[in-house]
Amino acid sequence: MKIAKLSNAMSLQRSVEQANVNHVKTVREVIDHVRQNGDKALFDYTEKWDGAKLTNLQVTKEEVEAAFADFDPQLVQDLEEAAANIRAFHTQQVRPNIDFQLDESSYIKYKITPLDAVGLYVPGGTAAYPSSVLMNAIPAVVAGVKRVVIVSPPSKEGKLPASVLVAARIAGITEIYKVGGAQAIAALAYGTETIKSVDKITGPGNSYVALAKREVFGRVAIDMIAGPSEIAIIADDTAFADEVASDLLAQAEHDRFASSVLITTSEKLAREVQLEVERQLKQLPREDIARASIENFGCIYIAESLAKAVDAVNELAPEHLEIITEQPEIISEQIRHAGAIFIGRFSSEPVGDYFVGTNHVLPTNSTARFSSGLSVDDFIKKTSVVYYSEEMWQKHYPKIARLARLEQLEGHARSVESRSWSKEEFHDC
């Protein structure tokens, strides 16, 4: 792992990936095909790309119960405890309606309504991520969404991973379909005979899934286009090198494009972490992935001061930030841009990835500058409700009419003025 002087914080940033034009074309064809042919297109693509010849898209209750019965009870209990923690913290995010009284009778209300239906994409492949199921599904359920649907590509044998089915059951999700890729996104956005359309699609996926989400954005809402995962660690000479190294590698093992950065005021720590990373890399099952990530997107920066480290992090806006210093809370208060912050040596990132209750779906690629991790807010919407009494209208309509005419919208002015006969006196005939 390279060591460098922290001079130009901007050099930490990776650029946003450009979409592959051929992939865009493929994804558009897939979407059109699903819109035209519905379920048939889903069966065809699933056979073609996942190698699974299905007769039924929907996972049966029996399949879920069988997966649950066979699952390690200790892991069921761990997942249930994690789910309870996620539920507890996300429940804190639930907001009340706002009631804003304008006079005795006139008011504005700001009404919170959950979305009707949400689709959650769960990636397939060798590694299943039950934690992602919990992180995406539970905020929707807490928000009050009535219909939460999971789509995920099946194995050649036409099955979904047991851990995904178990996590779905724990999260309370019963509508699960064996379909992945752009075709699953198309089905969620436009609906087929079997899969009714949803209002929002969340969850990570490969580049085809990401492109498909981008294509259907507007027709439905999407969560975000997530890039490779990242961690930045601010540490001083109080940090233990082996612990810091293990945290950098936990990030690096995700994929070759993951980025792990240490910013430290201690040259001694920098050297020790460098040695530790190498030592631990050799013992890691996913050594090849982690090594590629560390070599290409990993760096140890020596900062002149913690203040300079803070500046660099605010420039970087990392997805994850660990602060392992003598007074980590003071540093934390100075951070403006980060997806999630972990304070002190006992709060390493996996605490948040799996268990403590915060969401692990977080903004990558410096988008923490302007966006947030997944939350209950992503599954509700707000409607303003206005009630003006006759008295309020009487008092204010001339101003409204003037402002409308300033914008040359005469019809708007007449709309508020049209109520004016109501205040005329009735005369004797």
Residue 401 token pair: 């009419």
Looking at the Cβ atoms of 44 and 311, the one nearer to a copy of itself is 311
Residue 172 token pair: 């309370």
**Does residue 120 bind a copy of itself (CB under 8 A)?**
no
- What ranges make up the beta strands (E) of 102-146? 107-114, 117-121
What distances in angstroms separate CA 121 from CA 130, 149, 201, 202, one per listed residue?
A: 12, 9, 7, 6
**Does residue 207 bind a copy of itself (CB under 8 A)?**
no
Looking at the Cβ atoms of 61 and 402, the one nearer to a copy of itself is 402
Q: Beta strand 340-343 with 320-324: parallel, antiparallel or unpaired? A: parallel
Give Cβ neighbours of residue 61 (< 8 Å, ≥ 6 apart).
174
Give Cβ neighbours of residue 229 (< 8 Å, ≥ 6 apart).
251, 254, 255, 258, 259, 319, 320, 364
- Burial label for 240, CB within 10 Å (0-12, 13-18, 19+), is middle
AA letter at 258: A
CA angle 175, 178, 181 (to 5 degrees): 115
**Does residue 73 bind a copy of itself (CB under 8 A)?**
no
Residue of 3, 24, 54, 102 interacting with a copy of itself (CB under 8 A): 102
Which entry of 215, 320, 322, 349 is annotated as an active-site residue?
A: 320
For the chain, the farthest-separated pair of C-alpha atoms sits apart, in whole angstroms, at 102
**Does residue 247 bind a copy of itself (CB under 8 A)?**
yes
**Does residue 403 bind a copy of itself (CB under 8 A)?**
yes
Q: Cα-flanking dihedrals φ and ψ of residue 156, to 5°?
A: -55, -30
Residue 291's CB: how many other CB atoms inside 10 A? 21
Looking at the Cβ atoms of 21 and 55, the one nearer to a copy of itself is 21
Residue of 87, 110, 144, 194 interacting with a copy of itself (CB under 8 A): 110
Q: Tell me the site size for a copy of itself, rule CB under 8 A.
A: 119
Q: What residues form DSSP beta bridges with 98?
A: 110
Question: Could you give the CA distance from residue 138 to residue 223 in angstroms, rounded to a whole number?
Answer: 15
Contact 320, 342 (CB under 8 A): yes
Contact 216, 201 (CB under 8 A): yes
Which entry of 230, 272, 319, 349 is annotated as an active-site residue?
A: 319
Q: Using the rule CB under 8 A, give the single segment among 2-10, 54-62, 295-303, 341-349 that binds a copy of itself.
A: 341-349
CA angle 51, 56, 62 (to 5 degrees): 110
Instruction: Tell whether 183 is in a known binding site.
Output: yes
Q: What minimum distance in Å lies between the beta carbon of 311 and a copy of itself?
A: 13
Question: Could you give the CA distance from residue 355 to residue 373 in angstroms, rounded to a whole number?
Answer: 16
Looking at the Cβ atoms of 236 and 276, the one nearer to a copy of itself is 276
x/- track of binding to a copy of itself for residues 154-193 (CB under 8 A): ---------x------------------------------
355-391: b (≥16 Cβ within 10 Å) or e: bbbbbbbbbbbbbbeeebbbbbebbbeeeeeeebeee
Looking at the Cβ atoms of 54 and 94, the one nearer to a copy of itself is 94
**Does residue 291 bind a copy of itself (CB under 8 A)?**
no
DSSP element (H, E) containing 289: helix 287-297
Active site residue 396: no
Instruction: Tell whether 254 is in a known binding site.
Output: yes
Q: Using the rule CB under 8 A, give the single segment among 60-68, 135-143, 238-246, 261-269 that binds a copy of itself.
A: 238-246
Instruction: Tell whether 387 is in a known binding site.
Output: no
Looking at the Cβ atoms of 131 and 183, the one nearer to a copy of itself is 131
Looking at the Cβ atoms of 46 and 259, the one nearer to a copy of itself is 259
Q: What minimum distance in Å lies between the beta carbon of 53 and a copy of itself?
A: 28
Q: What minimum distance in Å lies between the beta carbon of 253 and a copy of itself?
A: 4
Active site residue 319: yes
**Does residue 94 bind a copy of itself (CB under 8 A)?**
no
Residue of 250, 269, 273, 277 interacting with a copy of itself (CB under 8 A): 250
Instruction: Tell whether 337 is in a known binding site.
Output: no
Q: What minimum distance in Å lies between the beta carbon of 39 and a copy of itself?
A: 21
Looking at the Cβ atoms of 134 and 300, the one nearer to a copy of itself is 134
Residue of 142, 232, 235, 249 interacting with a copy of itself (CB under 8 A): 249
Residue numbering of the annotated binding site for substrate: 229, 251, 254, 320, 353, 407, 412
Residue numbering of the annotated binding site for Zn(2+): 251, 254, 353, 412
Provide the annotated active-site residues: 319-320
Residue numbering of the annotated binding site for NAD(+): 121, 183, 206
Residue numbering of the annotated binding site: 121, 183, 206, 229, 251, 254, 320, 353, 407, 412
